[in-house]
Chains A and B, each alone.
Chain A
Amino acid sequence: MDVIWLIPILPGIGAAVNGLLGIRFFSKAQSAAVACGSMGLAAALSIYAFVQLLGSESRVHDVVVATWIPAIALETVDGIGAFAVDWAFRLDPLSGMMILVVSGIGLLIHIYSTSYMHGESDAGYARFFCYLNLFCFFMLTLVLGANLLVMFVGWEGVGLCSYLLIGFWYQKQSASDAGKKAFLVNRIGDWGFVLGIFLIFFTFGTLDFREVAAGAAAMPIETAEFGVISLICLFLFVGATGKSAQIPLYVWLPDAMEGPTPVSALIHAATMVTAGVYMVCRNAVLFTHAPMVMTIVAVIGGVTALMAASIGLTQTDIKRVLAYSTVSQLGYMFLATGVGAFAAGAFHLMTHAFFKALLFLGSGSVIHAMNDEQDMRHMGGLKTFMPVTFVTMLVGTLAIAGIPPLAGFFSKDEILFQTFLHNRVLWILAVATAGMTAFYMFRLMAMTFYGEYRGPAWEHGEGHDAGEDHSDHDGHGAWHGPHESPTAMTGPLMALAVGAIVAGFVGIPAALGGGNAIEHFLEPSFTVEATEEAGPVAEAAGEAEEVHEVSHAAELGLMALSILVALGGIALAHRLYIRRPELAEAWRARWAGAHRLLLNKYYVDELYQSTVVRGTMSGGRGLWRFDGRVVDGAVNGTGWLTLASSWCSQLFDRYVVDGAVNLVGWSASESSFSLRRIQTGLIQNYALVMLLGVFVFVSIYLLVR
């Protein structure tokens, strides 16, 4: 287990190899082999580590690789401390679960990408896998990091990879714009994160998660006043909203769909975007000490979930729908953490990773089949062309809609239940969201796979019929109509579909007779181990269990309700988009205003554009002008003043000082008219004068001596 640091390093090596050598020298097969191989090793190692973790007594394993920043004296609230950071990695239940998710799904998506990205040039292919591996490196660093700064390394690193991968097709203006937007919005979040880190160090004198947790546990829960822990949590949550696309920083995620679809699946659905949730869970002890921030987190999560879901209702781009769905699901997770159900959040994180990755990959398969068409209005009827994709996507859809016994049901229901216990308003929001989720997901399914084919016509090439599986499709040749994707793509789809089905079984709630295994498994990550200091948390946990005990019945009722809501949504979608498509048109016309509002995503982008971006840019330009005119103007003005004064003094110089000089000169020149006769130009005359001088001196000598 001491080799857990190898888990991130392996993909890192893969990235380095592909980056330094692959782009120039490797064929596609070679780069794919390097990337998938390194990921496969990392995944194997992750499983090995996880198994060991399960088998060991201790739930926490730290590995310190090296000193990163050696100890430097720095004052904290408790006097002079030492600012020191190690390259330290930690395997505990939470990170164990995460590395499984990341490396597992990462591996699948790597495999998927080998086929999906086949249209790229060799160099582009290697570059893609380099980035993808690099992402996994940073993501695994993020989840394994034992202190905030190492986590921050991964945090920023995945941001970088996200930037690079979104902008993978950098020739596309929209892609590079989206990448930049993602990075910058994340940076805003990071601003909060780093301030949180600083404040944590200042408060606790350390950056190690467990030590911080221990320190926080020793402090009172800040129910009454907005204290330092609340501030820390607020800062951290700002960071989380950036990374996990919550209000107000969610705007980058839909745009990020400009990237290749596997990227969207891996980064913008399964792993990176959940880093915010992961981070909040990591600092669960801190957050439990800041109930006010918890409330904020819950509210933001809930509102985000609803808002994103509502936007998803009207989008026509298949990936955008999924993107908003992701935002919405992330809102769910924050809702869970906000109400104190960290385990539920983490659980949903995991299940979501499976089904959302599945959905994205499925959509990728569709897009691939449709020759890079993303607009659902130009799809339809694909069910017959690509059955595997259809089936797997259906599984994913059902999972996200919360249909039992698929994974989404258990995790989502857990969240709903916890929310219900905590806050009814939020619960209503969540339930509404669930309904919308079911609706837009089935709308997606309906528009894509059902109905008639609405896409462009294709040429019937010899030997290639529509729907025929042909793996030699490389995107360059003529398009021969929608078709099922090659095995390298359908394989991961099927694997993820299995995951989407079974992943929920680790968290069957007690009400259904399960043990909610995952909650207990994750428990140690959310509490401090030292029991004597863990009083409040333990109490809180105890309370929660009590509530569990009390309301098994209610829980079952709620489950039924949520299933009903989901089914309702599905039914509505079925009616509007499969049975009577014209009805959708009618509704759209009837609620044109609302539709436009949703279609334009509440104009948030425009709002940001006109305020933040424009403000910054015009501020920059204004300051530049200020710089040139005022600051530099002052400098040049000084210069000008100097010149002016020098001009004045030059006048003085010319007429007064120089006048006097000229007077002398004038008198000299006047007198020289007479005196110049002495200057005969005859050398001997000068010699004569010399001789005269000699004469005079000799005479003087003669006389004086």
Chain B
Amino acid sequence: MSNVADFPLLSLILFTPLAGAVLLLFVNRQSEDAIRWIANVVAGIGFLVSLPLWFWFEPQGAQWQFVERLEWIPSIGAEYSLGVDGFSALLVLLTTMMGSIAILSSWTAITERVKEYYIFLLVLQTGMIGAFVSLDFLLFFLFWEVMLVPMYFLIGIWGSDRRLYSAIKFFLYTLVGSVVMLLGILAIYFEHHAMTGIYSFDVTRFHELTLPVGLQWWVFLAFFLGFAVKVPMFPFHTWLPDAHTDAPTAGSVILAAVLLKMGTYGFIRFSLPILPEATIEFVPMVIWLSIIGVIYGALVALAQRDWKRLVAYSSVSHMAMVMLGMFSLNPVGIMGSIVQQINHGISTGALFLIVGIVYERRHTREISEYGGLSKIMPVYAVVFLIMTMSSIGLPTLNGFIGEILILQGVFVVNKMWAAVAASGIVLGAAYMLWLYQRTMFGNVDNPKNESLPDLNIRELATFVPLIVLAVWIGLYPSPFLRRLDSSVMHVVSRVNAAYAPLNADGGADASAPVDGSLAGGQ
């Protein structure tokens, strides 16, 4: 990666959407089509420039790749330091892809304040990418907060029904979590200074830190609140259905596909490696909350009459599954957790797009308003079927890989947990199939549905990459899993002593000092 290292790829990826947003500022608000074109092209470019993350990333290479370090606020040791490992590289790719899909999907859906809408989406994009690539905790926090504002406006301005309520709920909820998280960050920051005498927010340094267990305990709780709200985990999930339901389609897609990953990303990147002892201590709590979340989300989804809300609750269930795998604290579970995050991004993102398409045509999300759409919109029905199957974890599609890894990972830790959690699979199939039946099957009872147009090329184009990815991950996940090896082993070696020796002789040098990234950069 020597020749690659000098090129500020991550900065380029990071600021491409922002540059697009700035560009949009100078476009006349009346020329909406021009705005749409620009936004789409920018998002497309954003995706294209992120592709090197896939091709130039070396699964066997250093832990942190594409590292960039610049001074930011030297007085407090904060740096503008970016870098990715396999995990964040995949999430960045997911972000850029879902971002461009979300923007593409908004072409006809958004007719008011088009300019602001796209600007917000692009700014949001930068915020999300930034959070994933930051290696500086403060920088991460900055981007973390940056995401909040555009999303707030996206929900609050372009949402439906109770959008203001939802927007404020979303905003306050996550803000409370992040404020507490900031306390946690500061606690580590000062403890790090007390231990090493260096003021730094460098995450890679924190990863090598052995904090006192008492402190870890509190910091874990602080982080837990911040991240669990974002995931969202069981008792903190209620913002999600509201926000999802009332957000515009693209907002829901981004929210589900990327924003929720912030929480899980936070856990894997920060909570687990920095606070290993506390993590181990909290495993039962998190696991049980996750299990409750899996079943609870599925059961509540079963009771929904609102299509989008149903998908939102399914999201709760799936994300709980992700958390479950993560806190199995073994490679398979964490790997599955990460894969499932990407899967969730793909399939739930697609499901929201699917809802958005009929919502745009009919302006209602009531499931009972639909029925028999298979007849009218066959292509749509096929897409929906594939994504339903992906969502419920049908083998050969992506969801299966994630679920099987997660459950296998959890199973070796505790059979009971796995057995209970696995019942979520049954319920997942139940609500999704029932939804599918109620909307797609049967006769066209509602005359309003009779003339719904099927997917047009643009809409189909938003789905094709998702379907391709779903099948790819389902059939041949190796490229993904290989990229995650070192990240996963790095995390596991911090939290699970059983795998430490495996690391030493393993090919992936996850346990190598993180400064290796610097060495690798030279």
Direct A–B contact in complex, judged by CB atoms less than 8 Å apart: yes
Residues of A bordering B, CB below 8 Å: 19, 23, 66-70, 72-76, 80, 83, 123, 149, 152-153, 155-157, 160, 163, 167, 170-173, 176-177, 179-180, 183-184, 187-188, 190-191, 194-195, 197-199, 201-202, 616-617, 619-621, 623-624, 627, 631-632, 634-635, 639
| CB <8 Å contact, A72 and B303 | no
Which A residues are in CB contact (< 8 Å) with B235? 631, 634
Which A residues are in CB contact (< 8 Å) with B419? 195
Identify A194's interface contact among B409, B425, B441, B502, CB under 8 A: B425
29 A-B residue contacts at CB 8 Å? A67-B478, A69-B401, A70-B478, A70-B482, A72-B332, A73-B489, A73-B502, A74-B409, A83-B405, A157-B395, A170-B372, A172-B442, A176-B437, A180-B434, A183-B433, A187-B429, A188-B426, A195-B419, A197-B408, A198-B408, A198-B412, A201-B412, A202-B412, A620-B302, A624-B304, A631-B238, A632-B238, A635-B169, A639-B172
| CB <8 Å contact, A75 and B498 | yes
Which B residues are in CB contact (< 8 Å) with A70? 478, 481-482
- Let me know if B415 is at the binding interface, CB within 8 A: yes
| CB <8 Å contact, A619 and B408 | no
In the docked arrangement, what's the CA distance between A624 and B305, Å? Answer: 11
In the docked arrangement, what's the CA distance between A74 and B409, Å? Answer: 7
Q: Which residue of A lies closest to B431 (CB)?
A: A620
The minimal Cβ–Cβ distance linking B367 to chain A, given in whole angstroms, is 14
The minimal Cβ–Cβ distance linking A353 to chain B, given in whole angstroms, is 24
Q: Which residue of A lies closest to B410 (CB)?
A: A198
- Let me know if B239 is at the binding interface, CB within 8 A: yes
Identify A176's interface contact among B404, B407, B441, CB under 8 A: B441
| CB <8 Å contact, A616 and B411 | no
- Let me know if B396 is at the binding interface, CB within 8 A: yes
| CB <8 Å contact, A74 and B331 | yes
Given the known inter-chain contacts A163-B433, A617-B302, please indicate yes or no for A191 contacting B425, CB distance below 8 A: yes
- Let me know if B84 is at the binding interface, CB within 8 A: no
- Let me know if B477 is at the binding interface, CB within 8 A: yes
In the docked arrangement, what's the CA distance between A188 and B394, Å? Answer: 14
Q: Which residue of B lies closest to A172 (CB)?
A: B442
Q: Which residue of B lies closest to A202 (CB)?
A: B412
- Let me know if B330 is at the binding interface, CB within 8 A: yes
In the docked arrangement, what's the CA distance between A177 and B301, Å? Answer: 19
| CB <8 Å contact, B395 and A199 | no
| CB <8 Å contact, B433 and A621 | no
Question: Of residues 478 to 515 in B, which have CB atoms within 8 Å of A's CB atoms?
Answer: 478, 481-482, 485, 488-489, 498-499, 502, 506
Interface SS of chain A: helix
In the docked arrangement, what's the CA distance between A152 and B429, Å? Answer: 16
Return the CB mask of B447-471 against A: 1 if under 8 Å, else 0: 0000000000000000000000000
- Let me know if B365 is at the binding interface, CB within 8 A: no
In the docked arrangement, what's the CA distance between A627 and B396, Å? Answer: 34
| CB <8 Å contact, A195 and B411 | yes
| CB <8 Å contact, A180 and B437 | yes
Given the known inter-chain contacts A67-B478, A160-B394, please indicate yes or no for A76 contacting B426, CB distance below 8 A: no
| CB <8 Å contact, B405 and A177 | no
The minimal Cβ–Cβ distance linking A426 to chain B, given in whole angstroms, is 30
Which B residues are in CB contact (< 8 Å) with A76? 412
Which B residues are in CB contact (< 8 Å) with A155? 395
Task: Taking A70-B478, A627-B300 as given, write out 13 further A-B residue pairs in contact, using a Cβ cutoff of 8 Å, ordered by the A residue number.
Answer: A70-B482, A72-B481, A74-B331, A75-B330, A149-B395, A152-B395, A171-B442, A173-B441, A183-B429, A184-B430, A194-B422, A623-B296, A623-B303
The minimal Cβ–Cβ distance linking A241 to chain B, given in whole angstroms, is 14
In the docked arrangement, what's the CA distance between A338 and B375, Å? Answer: 46
Which B residues are in CB contact (< 8 Å) with A179? 437
In the docked arrangement, what's the CA distance between A195 and B506, Å? Answer: 29
| CB <8 Å contact, B411 and A202 | yes
The minimal Cβ–Cβ distance linking B366 to chain A, given in whole angstroms, is 15
| CB <8 Å contact, B303 and A617 | yes
| CB <8 Å contact, B375 and A171 | yes
Which A residues are in CB contact (< 8 Å) with B443? 171
Interface SS of chain B: helix
| CB <8 Å contact, A616 and B481 | no
Which B residues are in CB contact (< 8 Å) with A180? 433-434, 437
Which A residues are in CB contact (< 8 Å) with B401? 69
| CB <8 Å contact, A184 and B433 | yes
Residues of B bordering A, CB below 8 Å: 169, 172-173, 235, 237-239, 296, 299-304, 330-332, 335, 372, 374-375, 378, 382, 389, 394-396, 400-401, 404-405, 407-409, 411-412, 415, 418-419, 422-423, 425-427, 429-431, 433-434, 437, 440-443, 475-478, 481-482, 485, 488-489, 498-499, 502, 506
Q: Which residue of B lies closest to A625 (CB)?
A: B303
The minimal Cβ–Cβ distance linking B468 to chain A, given in whole angstroms, is 13
Identify A74's interface contact among B408, B423, B426, CB under 8 A: B408
The minimal Cβ–Cβ distance linking A636 to chain B, given in whole angstroms, is 8
In the docked arrangement, what's the CA distance between A160 and B331, Å? Answer: 30
Identify B332's interface contact among A74, A157, A171, CB under 8 A: A74
The minimal Cβ–Cβ distance linking A182 to chain B, given in whole angstroms, is 10
Q: Chain B CB within 10 Å — which of A67, A183, A194 has the most?
A: A194
Which B residues are in CB contact (< 8 Å) with A634? 235
Given the known inter-chain contacts A170-B441, A199-B411, please indicate yes or no for A623 contacting B299, CB distance below 8 A: yes
Which A residues are in CB contact (< 8 Å) with B442? 170-173, 176
| CB <8 Å contact, B394 and A157 | yes
In the docked arrangement, what's the CA distance between A152 and B303, Å? Answer: 30
Q: Which residue of B lies closest to A189 (CB)?
A: B426
Given the known inter-chain contacts A69-B477, A194-B407, A195-B418, please indicate yes or no for A624 contacting B330, CB distance below 8 A: no
Given the known inter-chain contacts A83-B408, A170-B441, please indicate yes or no for A616 contacting B299, CB distance below 8 A: yes
Q: Which residue of A lies closest to B440 (CB)?
A: A170
Which B residues are in CB contact (< 8 Å) with A72? 331-332, 335, 405, 481, 485, 488
Q: Which residue of A lies closest to B444 (CB)?
A: A171
In the docked arrangement, what's the CA distance between A156 and B427, Å? Answer: 15
Which A residues are in CB contact (< 8 Å) with B407? 194, 198
In the docked arrangement, what's the CA distance between A180 and B395, Å? Answer: 18
In the docked arrangement, what's the CA distance between A335 and B372, Å? Answer: 43
In the docked arrangement, what's the CA distance between A173 and B443, Å? Answer: 8
In the docked arrangement, what's the CA distance between A632 and B169, Å? Answer: 11
Q: Which residue of A lies closest to B304 (CB)?
A: A624
The minimal Cβ–Cβ distance linking B271 to chain A, given in whole angstroms, is 21
Identify B481's interface contact among A69, A74, A195, A639, CB under 8 A: A69
| CB <8 Å contact, B423 and A191 | yes
Given the known inter-chain contacts A167-B441, A171-B443, please indicate yes or no for A191 contacting B422, CB distance below 8 A: yes
Shortest beta-carbon contacts, A-B, top 3: A620-B302, A620-B303, A176-B441
| CB <8 Å contact, B415 and A199 | yes
The minimal Cβ–Cβ distance linking A68 to chain B, given in whole angstroms, is 7
Given the known inter-chain contacts A83-B332, A171-B442, A199-B411, please indicate yes or no for A620 contacting B433, CB distance below 8 A: no
Q: Which residue of A lies closest to B418 (CB)?
A: A198
Identify B408's interface contact among A184, A201, A631, CB under 8 A: A201
Identify B300's interface contact among A167, A190, A198, A623, CB under 8 A: A623
Given the known inter-chain contacts A171-B375, A183-B429, A635-B173, please indicate yes or no for A74 contacting B412, CB distance below 8 A: yes
The minimal Cβ–Cβ distance linking A20 to chain B, given in whole angstroms, is 10
| CB <8 Å contact, B476 and A66 | yes
Which B residues are in CB contact (< 8 Å) with A616? 299, 302, 427, 430
Identify A156's interface contact among B302, B395, B408, CB under 8 A: B395
The minimal Cβ–Cβ distance linking B207 to chain A, given in whole angstroms, is 20
In the docked arrangement, what's the CA distance between A152 and B477, Å? Answer: 17
Which B residues are in CB contact (< 8 Å) with A631? 235, 237-238
The minimal Cβ–Cβ distance linking B28 to chain A, given in whole angstroms, is 41
Which A residues are in CB contact (< 8 Å) with B404? 149, 194, 197
Which B residues are in CB contact (< 8 Å) with A195? 411, 415, 418-419, 422
In the docked arrangement, what's the CA distance between A75 and B382, Å? Answer: 40
Q: Which residue of A lies closest to B234 (CB)?
A: A631
Q: Chain B CB within 10 Å — which of A19, A72, A183, A202 has the most?
A: A72
Which B residues are in CB contact (< 8 Å) with A157? 394-396
The minimal Cβ–Cβ distance linking B482 to chain A, given in whole angstroms, is 6
The minimal Cβ–Cβ distance linking B409 to chain A, given in whole angstroms, is 7
